[in-house]
Amino acid sequence: MPNGTVWFSNAGYAGRVPETPDLTLRSFPLTTPPGAELHLWLPSDPDDHVRRAQTATNQPGADLLGFWATLWPAAITSAHLVGTTSLIDDSTSVLEVGCGCGLVGLAAAMRGASVTLTDGDPAGIELTARNITENALDGRCRAEVFRWEDPPHPDWKPDLLLGCDVLYEPKAHPLLARLIADLNCTALLTDPQRPSAAGASSIFRDHGLRVWESTAPAAAGGCPLRVLMVQPQ
């Protein structure tokens, strides 16, 4: 094994991620099951990951790379929301987009759901796969690189699409609307009330989707959320 790397694999991805001290293991208590918690490897210096990711390429979209390295407050509240929503049980098939480090999707798996966690940044998916294994959820989860510009995998038949803090870029709203329509499933989207996300509901409706808006209070360590439930007609 080369110095400074850890090799790992799970049902959906195989790769390598940096060894500590680049990563720090943190624990997050869950609402459901009672007393359960998730353990996540997170970058010790997420800002450095963002800088390196964005300077390593001049390809379109480079300015959006590396954000997976930060565990955003919205993810903490979203994980608690996933722990209480009636949309998830042990028979639910979940697809998460923009999964980052994996907290929200793994919270769904802890309720018994089968979860495919996706992100457009391969480096983030490497870490998500490690976090799946860290929590012994390989049998319920897989991690895959997926960009919204691409068609969904034909084998994906989710009951629910999850997206946490994925509405910050308005030009991505039509792509997400098309994905929800193509998958023909309910979507649960959370947003920390960013002004740039305010137009998402209108875009979804323009694409023939139904939208219900609500709010969720901040969980400990998290932030208040705007919650969108989106369904095809």
**pLDDT at site 23:** 87
pLDDT value for 54: 54
Peptide bond between residue 217 and the one before it cis (omega within 30 degrees of 0) = no
Position 22 scores a pLDDT of 85
**Model pLDDT, residue 86:** 96
Mean pLDDT in order along the chain per 10 residues (233 residues): 31 41 87 92 76 57 62 96 96 97 97 96 91 96 95 95 96 97 98 96 98 97 97 95
- Report the distance separating Cα 64 and Cα 169, nearest Å: 9
Q: Cis ω on the peptide bond leading into residue 21 (within 30° of 0)?
A: yes
Terminal-to-terminal C-alpha distance of the chain: 52
- CA atoms in the 13 A half-sphere facing the CB of 36: 17
pLDDT at 18: 44
pLDDT value of position 62 = 47
- Ordered domains of the chain (ranges, CATH): 5-232 (3.40.50.150)
Reduced to 3 states (helix: H, G, I; strand: E, B; else coil), residue 52 is helix
What pLDDT, on a 0 to 100 scale, did the predictor assign at position 16?
41
**Alpha-carbon gap, residue 174 to 207, rounded angstroms:** 8
CA atoms of 117 and 54, how far apart (whole Å)? 23
- The pLDDT tens digits of the residues spanning 103-116 come to 999 999 999 999 99
3-class secondary structure, 144: strand
Q: How far apart are CA 23 and CA 40, in angstroms?
A: 10
Distances (CA, A) of 203 to 143, 177, 210, 213: 28, 7, 11, 14
